[in-house]
Amino acid sequence: MKKKNNLIIYAHPNKNGHCGKYLEEVEFYLKSQNLDYDIIDLYEESFNPVLGLNEFYINNKDLKMSDDVLDYQKKISEYYNIIFIYPNWWNGVPAILKGFFDRVLVPEFAYKYLNGLPIGLLKDKKAIVLTSTGGPKIYDFFLWGLNF
């Protein structure tokens, strides 16, 4: 199977703000360079971020991956570059993206344990992260010691 170039994982309910602009610019660049790409828009696809008990992988001998998760894993396998675009909310990724990580990037797909240590299985991938954040500048000062 020939690997494709760029998979964009977009995790924002709105395309009119900073993340939407990032998406627009990334698409413009990829098109201008004649690079192939695909987009997984988690909100547009109504991705369910809730990890069900039947998907919980620790000591679960009856692990059953849903079709959507298998499809996302197949897509990730097909691409070299994974481009994440999301806002930073409450110092983290949106719940829908966290759920994507929990449900899709599971053991035996994204990593495995060898002698008790995690070993990455997606080593042929590059990740690009574009994130935005908002709020008063005073937050940056108190949280990070940054003064802009």
- CB neighbour class for 85 (10 Å; exposed up to 12, middle 13-18, buried from 19): buried
Q: Give the residue extent of every domain in the chain.
A: 4-144
Q: What is the pTM of this model?
A: 0.85
**Phi and psi angles of residue 142, each rounded to the nearest 5 degrees, phi first:** -75, -40
- Which of the following CATH numbers is that of domain 4-144: 2.40.110.10, 3.40.50.1580, 1.10.238.10, 3.40.50.360? 3.40.50.360
Residue 90: its pLDDT value, please?
82
pLDDT in tens, 4-50: 899 999 999 999 999 999 999 999 999 999 999 999 999 999 999 99
